[in-house]
């Protein structure tokens, strides 16, 4: 189990953010952390725990998912 980052107030947000990121990894996004795992869900959890994926708050008007940031190129 990964440690919940201090900027996330609940386990639910951690799981939701990791799930969004895992979808991106499955679609071909490059991992942002070095890990021996090849499973997108494990990699996504590690990225969220390490703080390399910013939190996304869909209730904020006009908010775009932070996991789809400018660091990734879309085809």
Query: How confident is the prediction for the chain on average, in pLDDT?
Result: 79
User: How confident is the model over 40-49, as a mean pLDDT?
Assistant: 93
Q: What is the model's pLDDT at position 75? A: 41
Backbone angles phi, psi at 46, to 5 degrees: -65, -40
pTM, full prediction: 0.70
Decide: 20 and 43 in contact? Cβ < 8 Å.
no
Domains and CATH numbers, the chain: 6-68 (3.90.940)
């Amino acid at each position: 189990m990964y440690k919940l980052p201090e900027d996330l107030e609940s386990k639910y947000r951690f799981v939701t953010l990791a799930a969004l990121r895992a979808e991106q990894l499955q679609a071909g996004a490059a991992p942002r952390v070095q890990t021996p795992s090849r499973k997108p869900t494990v990699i996504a959890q590690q990225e969220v725990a390490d703080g390399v994926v910013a939190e996304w708050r869909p209730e904020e008007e006009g908010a775009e998912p932070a996991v789809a940031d400018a660091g990734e190129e879309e085809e």
